[in-house]
Structure 1
Amino acid sequence: MAFLLMSITVLHLVTLAMLFIATMEKSWWSWGDVENTDLWYKCIFDNSSETWMCASASESEWLQSVQALMILSVVLSSISFMVFLGQLFTMSKGGLFYFTGLCQLFAGFAAFAAVLIFTFQRKEILQDIRELEMGRFGFCYILAWVCVPLLLVSGALYVHLRKRA
């Protein structure tokens, strides 16, 4: 039981860290090593100064919905972890972690909706005159996709987890 509890806790913390990185880091769409776009900024690499020059991403309703859903996912997952810790010490023996599991499941659904919107509406979100075929999805986008099943699995595990001691 202690191993299962520790494994779920580590899974939750790892997923929360990956979700936070996917939300805040700058690589949802990439045009090679010279330009990256994320949920917040569009960055271009300046060869003369060898630094990244970033400007705010152009606002669109689709981008704002992706931003809101990713933030909602991080917040729900954080709340889920804090509630889990509280329930761990205050819940009576035999209780189930329903609220924790539901928060985690909703965090997974929010992240899933965000990456789906970015996938299908990237042309409107990026608003770039260049061909999208020249670019590719960045590592933060892939990280967000990896978080979706991890959030859903951990949410399902929390719903079925029963406090023994």
Structure 2
Amino acid sequence: MVLLLISITVLHLVTLAMLLIATLEKSWWVWTDSEITDLWHNCFHDNDTNTWLCATTSESDWLQAVQALMVLSVVFSSISFLVFLGQLLTLSKGVLFYFTGFCQAFAGFTDFSACLIFTFHREEILNDSRDVSKGRFGFCFILAWLCLPLLLISAVLYVHLRKKQ
């Protein structure tokens, strides 16, 4: 039982870290190796100073939806973890961790929605005169997609997890 709790906790913390990286890091769309776009900034690499120069992205309704959904995903996953720790101490023997599982599932669904919106509305989100076919999805976008099955697996594990002494 201890090994199961440790592995669920590690899975949850790894997923939460991946969500934070996907939300805050600079690579949702890559135009070239020296020009990238994320949820918050458009950045390009200055070879003279060897630094990234970033400007705030132009706001669109789709971009705001993706930003809000990714932040909600991080918030619900964090709440889920805190509730899990609280339930470990307060639940009576034999009770299931339903609320923790539902919070984690909701984090997965908000992550899924954000990824879908970015996938299908990237032209409006990127709001650029360049051809979108010349760019590619960055590692943060892929990381956000990878979080989806991990969030849903941990949600199912929480719903089926029964507290024992």
Q: TM-score range by the shorter chain?
A: over 0.9
Letter in 2 for 1:120: F
Deviation (angstroms), 1:32: 2.2
Letter in 2 for 1:49: T
Question: Which sits farther off after the overlay, 25-34 or 108-117?
Answer: 25-34
Deviation (angstroms), 1:73: 0.3
Asked whether 1:17 is paired with 2:23, we answer: no
Asked whether 1:95 is paired with 2:87, we answer: no
Deviation (angstroms), 1:2: 1.2
Equivalent in the alignment of 1:128: 128
1:1-165 paired onto structure 2 within 5 Å: 1-165=1-165
Letter in 1 for 2:139: F
**Which runs of at least 4 in structure 1 moved beyond 4 Å after TM superposition?**
none
Deviations 1:118-145 (A, max 9, x none): 0000000001111111111000000000
For residues 134 and 124 of structure 1, the distance between their equivalents in structure 2, rounded to whole angstroms, comes to 15
Q: How many residues align?
A: 165
For residues 50 and 2 of structure 2, the distance between their equivalents in structure 1, rounded to whole angstroms, comes to 50
Unaligned runs of 5+ in 1: none
Deviation (angstroms), 1:61: 0.1
Letter in 1 for 2:73: S
Unaligned runs of 5+ in 2: none
For residues 152 and 56 of structure 2, the distance between their equivalents in structure 1, rounded to whole angstroms, comes to 32
Identity %: 70
